[in-house]
Amino acid sequence: MQHPPITLRYFDARGRAQFLRYYFKLRKISFTDERVPVGDELAAWRALRDDRSRTGPFQKLPVLHWGDRLLAETLMIAAFVHEVSGDAGR
């Protein structure tokens, strides 16, 4: 299955996005794993937070860019990936 460019943006830590990283790697789905550094008192996050094109409508992470789509919130991202991957129909 051909996928559009995919970027997963989350902190440089395991957590709410880790299962998506595992899922993409297990399925051999090419994606950009953009990790926001957590050191330096979250300076990188503070600089990024107000850019809704990168942090979504709620200005939170994780965020998934799937082609020209921007998805926010872990459960919505998981539901979307489940559907477009074809797993929902299996």
* Single pTM value for the model: 0.92
Q: Per-domain residue ranges for the chain?
A: 6-89
Q: What percent of the chain stands above pLDDT 90?
A: 89
User: Reduced to 3 states, what is the DSSP secondary structure of residue 86?
Assistant: coil
Fold of 6-89: Glutaredoxin (3.40.30)
- pLDDT tens for the chain, residues 1 to 90: 789 999 999 999 999 999 999 999 999 999 999 999 999 999 999 999 999 999 999 999 999 999 999 999 999 999 999 999 988 888
Which tens digit of pLDDT belongs to each residue from 16-30?
999 999 999 999 999
Tell me the H-state helices in the chain.
18-26, 39-48, 52-55, 74-84
